[in-house]
Chain A
Amino acid sequence: MITLEGIAKTYDLGSSTVTALRGIDLTIDRGEFLTVMGPSGSGKSTLLHILGILDSADEGRYLLEDNDLTTLSDAELSRIRNEHFGFVFQSFNLFNEFSALENVMFPLMYAGVRGSQRRDRARALLVDVGLEHRMGHYPNMMSGGEQQRVAIARALANNPSLILADEPTGNLPSDKGEEILQILEGLNRDGVTIVMVTHDDRLGARGSRCIRLRDGVVESDTRRAA
C-alpha cells in the first residue's frame, strides 16, 4: 500500500540541525496493524507525519499505491489526507469551539458532503463509538476517553483506508486506553490499515507487526504470526 524509500528528515534549528529520520525504508501492506515503538525523540511522530503527508521528507520517495506523492500539489495531497487517511492524536486535537457532532462533520465538510447527509453520517459515526448521548457536547465537557472516541469517529468520517494514531492511549487511563485499542482492532478486522505509535510494550505487541526506531533508523521489524 505504502512504500517509503530512503526517507530522511532533518530539522534546521538555525545554529544546529536535528536529524529526525535517516534513511527509512518501509513497506506497509494493506490490512496491517503496524505499531511503531522506540525511545523518545527517535522519530516516531516524524515518521507518522510523513506517512500522513502532513510533513514532507527531505530525501527519499513516498509511493502510495505505486503513485509517487512528491509531485502532487497541496490540494491533491489534502484530498488524499481527507479521503484516505485518518489521524488520531495523543492529545485528541478536537476543535474546542465546536460540538462533538460538528467535529465529526468537518472532514465530511471538506469532502463536500452536503447538509443532512453530512449530519446523518456524523451521527452514525458517533453512535458507532458509543457516544449517541454526547453529540451536542463540547470537547471540554467530555472525558478524555470520550474525546478520543470523538477523534476516532472524526478520523473515520470518510471511510479512510489508513488510520495513523500517535500514542492514542497516551493520555488515558489504562481501561479507557483498552477501549480505544479495541475500537482500532475492530477497524483493523474490517480491513482498515492501522499505524499506531506507542510507548507501551504490551500495546506494541498487539499489532500484526512492530517496528522499533532508534535515532531515526528502523532498528527492528518484527511480524507476529497471524
Chain B
Amino acid sequence: MSWADRLWMSIRHIRGRLVESILVISATAIGVALVAAMFAFIRSYDRQTDYLLSHPAYREITVEVVGNETEITEAAVRFDASVSRAIALGTDDLIRARAGVAAVDHGYLADADRFVVGAPWTAGNRTAIAGQLGAIGGTGGIAGGGATGGRGQAVGAAEGQTRTDGEAALTLPGGATGGRAGTAEMDPEQMRAQFEALLGTDGDDAAVVSELPVDAFSGYRVTGEFFDAYGLRAAAGTVFTNEDIEAGNQVIVLGHDLARTLFPDSTAIGTRVRLGIQTYTVVGVLAPTGVRSIETGAAFDRLGFVPNAAAQVQFAGRAISFQRPTRTLRFAIDDSSRLDAAVQQLTLFFDSEYGPGTTRVTASLDALTTERQKLSRILAVVLFLAAAALFIASINLFNLMLMRVIKRTRGIGISRAIGASRREIFRQFINESACMSLTGAAIGLLLAPVAYGLLRTSLIADIGAVDLMNWLYFVVGAALALAVSVLFGVYPARQAGRVDASLAIRSE
C-alpha cells in the first residue's frame, strides 16, 4: 500500500469524524503555536540578553545621591531629604573620582534630552524669548550659584535642581552665596532687559542655519569620556572633549543618520544650529554604530550629543551657565570582570567624600541581572504552560486514536483478512494521527507569530536592536511539538497492529 493510499484513507476517516477531529486538531494547533512561539521567544530573549550584556550601558556604574529621587512614583515623604539637598554631584566629582579610582576606565555624564530646533535670533523673537526668560526668572527659576569653586558650579544649586527637575536651570556661578538672594533682588522687567542684552551678544546671526528639516531631535548631554565608553568615533570632524566643555565651547556631535537628515546636501561640520536658546557648532559626525539607547531604543545614529555643562555667557557682568541638573555620575569599565572591584572602590571613594550612606553606587549590570532572572522565571512558567497545552492536546489525540482503534477493531480484522499485515495496520493508524498532528502543527505555525507577539508585548520591551522574528526557530519549535504529538499516536497505532484478527472478525 502506497503512502498516498494511506493518506487517502486517513483523510476519509478524519472526514468521517470531522467534529472530533477538528477539535483535536485545534488543540494541537494551540499547543504547537505556544511551544513554537516560546521557542522563538526564548531565542529572541537570549539574543536580547546577549545584546544588553554587550551594551556599553551595562558596563556602567552609576553614582547618585541617596534620597535625591524626584520621580512621583517615589514615596512622597522622605525625611532624609534635608541631608541629600546639601549634596550635589558634579563634574568635579567626576574628575576627582577618575583620578582616585583606579579600577574605572571612563567617567562621564550622560542625560537624555530633546533638542528643539530654534530659528536664528531676530530682533523680534529675541525680545519675546527674553520676556519668557524674565518671567521664569521672576518665579524663582534662576538661582544664585552655590559655593564658589565648589561642586555647585557645574550642576546648579540644590534649589534649582529639585524644583526644575529636567527643565533648564540657570546658574549664576561664582556669585553670591546664599541661594535665592540673586533672584529676589531682580524684578521681571529689569531681568527681561538684561536678557535681551544677553541674547544680543550671541554672535553672528547670519551663520546660523535658518531652516532644518526637522523640528526637534533627541540626544544626550554628555561629557568627553562618554564617546570612549560607548566606542563612538567621528567619521568627520571630531568628538568634543572635556577640555572643550571647560572652555565653554558650544558644540554638537551628530549621529551618522541625523547628520544626513539635517544636512542632506551639504557637509554638517562647521554649521551652526540653534537648539532651544543655545547656538551650537557642529564639530563632528559619528561613524555609523549599532548602539541604541537602552531607555528609548533609539539608534545612536539618529541622536545628537552636546556638552553636559554650563553654557557660559556673560550676564550682568558675570558668567552665566544654562544647564540641566545632573543627578547621576556614570563610570564605565572596559572589562566587566573588574565590575565588582570598581563598584567597591567607587563606594569607598564616595563614602569617604560625603560620608557613608549618602551616595548610592549601582552597577547597572546588577539591575539587568536581577531583571533577567525574574524574567527567566516567568519564561520558565510560560514555557511550562505551553508544554502543558501541547501535552494535553497530545493526550486528547491519544485518547481519540485509542477510541478509533476500539471502534474500528472489526474493520482492522477485515483489513487483516483481505491482506493487511500488522505493520500495515500500524502504519495506517500512525498515518491518521500524524495527519491530524501535522494539520495542527501547520495551523499552529501560522498562529505562532501571533502568540509570539502577545508574549513579547507582555514580557519584554522591544529595544529594537535584535531581530525578534526568527522563522527558523518557529519551525524548529513547531517541528519539536509535532514530534511530540506524533509520538502520542504511536501507542494507539501499536494497539491497532496488535488486534487479533480472528477475534475482531467474530465480534459483532
List residues of A whose CB falls within 8 A of some B CB.
45, 49, 52, 54-55, 74-75, 77-79, 81-83, 87, 89, 91, 93-95, 97-98, 106-107, 109-112, 114, 154-155, 157-158
Interface size of B by Cβ–Cβ distance < 8 Å?
A: 26
**Chain B, Cβ-Cβ closest to A80:** B419
Given contacts A97-B16, A98-B12, A112-B2, contact A78 B419 (CB under 8 A): yes
Whether B417 contacts A74 by the Cβ 8 Å rule is no
Q: Helix, strand, loop or mixed for chain B's interface?
A: helix
Number of A-B contacts (CB under 8 A): 71
CB-CB nearest 7 A-B residue pairs: A82-B419, A55-B502, A78-B421, A110-B419, A49-B502, A107-B418, A75-B421
Instruction: Please measure, in the bound complex, the distance between the C-alpha atom of A198 and the C-alpha atom of B477, giving whole angstroms.
Output: 60
Given contacts A74-B422, A95-B411, contact A81 B417 (CB under 8 A): yes
CB distance from A85 to the nearest CB of B (A): 8
Instruction: Please measure, in the bound complex, the distance between the C-alpha atom of A9 and the C-alpha atom of B505, giving whole angstroms.
Output: 17
List residues of B whose CB falls within 8 A of some A CB.
1-2, 5, 12-13, 16, 410-411, 413-424, 500-502, 505-506, 508
Contact with B417, one of A52, A112, A114 (Cβ below 8 angstroms):
A52
Whether A106 contacts B506 by the Cβ 8 Å rule is no
CB distance from B411 to the nearest CB of A (A): 6
Instruction: Please measure, in the bound complex, the distance between the C-alpha atom of A105 and the C-alpha atom of B36, giving whole angstroms.
Output: 41
Contact with A54, one of B13, B411, B423, B505 (Cβ below 8 angstroms):
B505
Instruction: Please measure, in the bound complex, the distance between the C-alpha atom of A77 and the C-alpha atom of B419, giving whole angstroms.
Output: 8
CB distance from B406 to the nearest CB of A (A): 16
Contact with A78, one of B16, B424, B502 (Cβ below 8 angstroms):
B424
Whether B419 contacts A111 by the Cβ 8 Å rule is yes
**Chain B, Cβ-Cβ closest to A93:** B414
Instruction: Please measure, in the bound complex, the distance between the C-alpha atom of A110 and the C-alpha atom of B255, giving whole angstroms.
Output: 72
Instruction: Please measure, in the bound complex, the distance between the C-alpha atom of A186 and the C-alpha atom of B416, giving whole angstroms.
Output: 26
Chain A hits for B12, CB < 8 A: 97-98
**Chain B, Cβ-Cβ closest to A102:** B12
Chain A hits for B417, CB < 8 A: 52, 54, 81, 87, 93
Whether B424 contacts A110 by the Cβ 8 Å rule is yes
Contact with B410, one of A49, A55, A93, A110 (Cβ below 8 angstroms):
A93
Given contacts A49-B502, A54-B501, A55-B501, contact A78 B411 (CB under 8 A): no
Instruction: Please measure, in the bound complex, the distance between the C-alpha atom of A189 and the C-alpha atom of B414, giving whole angstroms.
Output: 27
Instruction: Please measure, in the bound complex, the distance between the C-alpha atom of A146 and the C-alpha atom of B423, giving whole angstroms.
Output: 32
